[in-house]
Amino acid sequence: MKDYLIDTHAHIDMLEESVETTLQKMADFGVKKVINPACDAAGFAKILEIADKFENIYAMLGIYPSEAKTYSEDIEQYIIDNSKKIVAIGEIGLDYYWDKSFKNLQCEIFAKQIQLANKLSLPIVVHDREAHKDCFNIIKAANKGSKVLFHCFSGSAEFMRECTKEDWYIALGGVVTFKNAIKMKDVAKEVPLDKLVLETDSPYLTPVPFRGKPNTPAYLKYVAEEIAKLREMPLEELIDITTENAERFFGI
């Protein structure tokens, strides 16, 4: 039995508290490992530095959809050169919430980064906001063998079923603890357990009872507790399964 949690998505480099403080809080709440994703190239070096310095913090590099205009051959080469130090390509994908003016470019860069993950035999961690259909279709067309995880899943239970049919993984975070998050609670109840992992997306999307304050990986415990309650299963069993899934997906 796994007696610890894994936060599969937390922006450690964006937290106001020190990494040492974050790790101490994690230990206090039973969170042992965390994946630290990139959003833009400016953050790559710091993310790699943190992963190199601290055991159980793992680096993930990629260009966020809103930064698609910055993607270049130099950025791609940097990821290739540092591929042995990272556990996935991410977070990559599509975001039609903030700016739809360069959707075609977002799609192009998303496909390029999927192909890069394939080349490096690394998993893909997907940011999908109000772009479910396009994300699904691009992954189906471009992906040739990389494992796929939908970070901060925001689709319906029906879309979740379409994704898990493809053997893709689903990550749920603090939103599932919100009282009015009916759609996410339905997903949490129905997602196949062998395709579920947990995350905080710190410093964002802080779960109840700390909603409104900055998030931290230690609060993953509250996500796990809510999902276990929704599924009417022992918390220890949920922790064991989701931790095993995370370690299998990221090879950690």
- Consecutive 10-residue averages of pLDDT for the chain (252 residues): 96 96 97 97 97 98 97 98 98 91 95 98 98 98 98 98 98 97 98 98 97 97 98 98 98 98
User: Which residue bears the tokens 């630290």?
Assistant: 36
Q: What is the pLDDT of residue 236?
A: 97
Kindly report the pTM of this predicted structure.
0.97
User: Which residue bears the tokens 């106001």?
Assistant: 16
Helices 103-120, 73-81: crossing angle, 10 deg rounding: 30
Q: Is the dihedral of CA 74, 80, 84, 88 positive or negative?
A: positive
Q: What is the pLDDT of residue 99?
A: 79
Please state, in angstroms and rounded to a whole number, the distance separating the CA atoms of residues 94 and 106: 6
- Identify whether the C-beta of residue 57 lies closer than 8 Å to the C-beta of residue 86: no
- 129 phi and psi angles, rounded to 5 deg: -125, 115
Q: Residue 13 is part of a domain; what is its CATH number?
A: 3.20.20.140
- Identify whether the C-beta of residue 15 lies closer than 8 Å to the C-beta of residue 46: no
Please state, in angstroms and rounded to a whole number, the distance separating the CA atoms of residues 166 and 148: 9
Domain that holds residue 150: 5-250
Cα angle vertex 125, ends 150, 135, to 5°? 55
Please state, in angstroms and rounded to a whole number, the distance separating the CA atoms of residues 39 and 82: 16
Count up the domains in the chain and report the number.
Answer: 1
